[in-house]
Amino acid sequence: MLEKYRTPLTINGITLDYTKETFIMGILNVTPDSFSDGGKYTSVAAAVQQAKKMVAEGAKIIDVGGESTRQGHVQITEQEEIARVVPVIQALVQEVQAIISIDTYKSAVAEAAVQAGAHMINDVWGAKADPRIAQVAAQYNVPIILMHNREQADYKYLWPEAHQDLQQSLAIAHAAGVPDEHIILDPGIGIGFGKTTAHNIQMMQHLPDLVAMGYPVLLATSRKSMIGAILDLPTAERLEGTMATVVYGIDKGCHMMRLHDIEPMRRAIKVADVLVGKQQIEVQ
């Protein structure tokens, strides 16, 4: 299953060898309305400070988002999104040693972000909302994360249909000229991503099938409603639940984790990496 990512990918001086480490993507929302941290990092200075903190705690990738994807979020124009993310990305490239990812489904925003210095595109619509985004990834030779998503949470058989949806995203990326080694898949865990809580739980249970598609897999469960539903807890109290999903994801073969709480998650990830054989430690 390692053929798509056997050769480690080096980006901005950071080598992503998925066989040796589970990589952490730190969430940096420069939005006023994101479900967990909206409004906290809207200034460039605050965003840079938070990114530095996350890198110091173990994040190798910083994912910059300029538009919320929570249920009921207010859509903004491309110009407004670009105005939010580009100054932050420009500052991060100068001040933070990390892979900078742009969290957007709009090709114009992705292109502006990459021109500003972003190294990766994270598309919650898997190149379906704006297929030109795959052309941007190919033109600028940057990796793209293709997340599973659909308009309606309506499935007869969840995994076969999700697999078909992802194959459509892969076809768009391949047609645009994105090489396999630049493609990462994401199961799209979240109520806002065409899934009910029951669907999200099923999708988690199908992670081995997603991993078996042969691409690196990013798992993004941090503080999400599935955890809240299981534990009956608000967003701020979902740390342990998130940790359970992260460790479970590593055991099922996932390669990257998109997270808010870096330090405690890094500790859990290291233990899980040792237990699954990704990392070795000296023991008596």
- Which pTM does this prediction carry? 0.93
Query: What is the number of other CB atoms lying within 10 angstroms of the CB of residue 164?
Result: 10
Reported as a single tens digit per residue, the pLDDT across 25-45 is 999 999 875 444 445 556 899
Is the pLDDT at 177 greater than 50, yes or no?
yes
Q: Is the pLDDT of residue 1 over 70?
A: no
User: Does residue 238 carry a catalytic annotation?
Assistant: no
pLDDT tens profile 145-165: 999 999 999 999 999 999 999
Tell me the C-alpha distance between 40 and 38, whole Å. 6
Strand partners, 63: 27, 101
pLDDT of amino acid 173:
98
Catalytic member of 84, 106, 238, 258: 258
pLDDT digits (tens, 9 = 90+) for 11-30: 999 999 999 999 999 999 99
Mean pLDDT (whole number) for 65-82: 80
pLDDT at 71 over 70: no
Beta strand 99-103 with 120-123: parallel, antiparallel or unpaired? parallel
pLDDT over threshold 50, residue 92: yes
The answer to whether the beta carbons of residues 227 and 238 sit under 8 Å apart is yes
Residue of 224, 238, 252, 278 marked catalytic: 224
Q: With 0-12 CB in 10 A as exposed, 13-18 as middle and 19+ as buried, what is 255? A: buried
Catalytic-residue membership of 258 = yes
Task: Kindly report, residue by residue over 231-272, the tens digit of the pLDDT.
Answer: 999 999 999 999 999 999 999 999 999 999 999 999 999 999
What's the pLDDT at 35?
44
